[in-house]
Amino acid sequence: MKSRYKIVLFDLDGTLSNSAEGVKIGIAAALTQMNKPLPDLSDYSQYVGPPLLTTFQRLCGLSEDEAHEAMELYRADYEKRGKFENYLYDGMDSLIAALRNCGSLTAVATSKYEAFAHWVIDYIGLGGFFDAICGSTLDGRRKEKADIIRYACDTLGVEVSKDSVCLVGDTMFDAAGALSAGCDFVGVTYGFGRREQIIRAGGERLAGSVEELYRYLIEGGK
């Protein structure tokens, strides 16, 4: 078997880990502490995937200053409760191991705060499976998915291209970020994004399970 890409980047929430409940809890806790009304949080695709600052401004209606305050409250609650609401999708560890055995570099490219991403990866049992874990910064300088993709590739010393780099993600934000950064993309439909949104954002290949990812990522894979 042979990997199709030199680097395979993985989104975290909804791609590697089922984590939506922890994100929902953190958003609700932050808004409650600020005495702000809670929006409808039943649709995970609205807030699992985009940068947290964007979620607090667009979905929750906060000003930029309020959004930064909400982010701090969210992170405090996530540290206490939300980070434990993470569960590895079945078969993902085997897929990543197969990619590495085929010669690919593997990395995480997430809009989650980078320190939390490191903790989650260890918690779900994927410590040691990645050559880099790349996430957002506290000050918001690096938060968009395209910027994080470029940062991950810079970290690994590889130029972004559709032939050598692929992002695996579950939302329209992942698809749009891959298109903007100039890498290839495979969308997964078992996460929190919606199929039609991923397609509208430029996602052309979709996998409904971890097993289907083998077909896209590894030549001769199952």
197 and 137 within one domain: yes
Listed residue (82, 169, 177) closest to 120, CA to CA: 82
**CATH code assigned at 115:** 3.40.50.1000
92 and 78 within one domain: no
Output the average pLDDT for the chain: 92
164 and 61 within one domain: no
Give the model's confidence band at 48: pLDDT under 50 very low, under 70 low, under 90 confident, else very high: confident
Of 62, 84, 106, the position where a domain reaches its end is 84
Percent of the chain with pLDDT over 90: 75
**CATH code assigned at 44:** 1.10.150.240
183 and 115 within one domain: yes
What is the number of other CB atoms lying within 10 angstroms of the CB of residue 218?
Answer: 21
132 and 50 within one domain: no
3-state SS, residue 87: strand
**Cβ neighbourhood burial of 163 (10 Å; 0-12, 13-18, 19+):** exposed
97 and 77 within one domain: no
| pLDDT at residue number 39 | 92
94 and 65 within one domain: no
Instruction: Specify whether 11 is catalytic.
Output: yes
120 and 35 within one domain: no
Q: Is the pLDDT of residue 199 over 70?
A: yes
102 vs 52, higher pLDDT: 102
Which residue range is the domain that position 40 belongs to? 20-84
53 and 14 within one domain: no
Domain count, the chain: 2
Percent of the chain with pLDDT over 70: 99
Active-site residue identified among 11, 13, 174, 184: 11
| pLDDT at residue number 220 | 59
183 and 104 within one domain: yes
79 and 26 within one domain: yes
33 and 10 within one domain: no
Please check whether residue 206 is in contact with residue 168, taking contact to mean a CB–CB distance below 8 angstroms: no
pLDDT digits (tens, 9 = 90+) for 140-159: 788 889 999 999 999 999 99
Of 35, 58, 84, the position where a domain reaches its end is 84
Of 84, 103, 131, the position where a domain reaches its end is 84
Q: Within the chain, how many helices (H) and strands (E) appear?
A: 9, 10
Mean of the pLDDT values across residues 38-43?
90
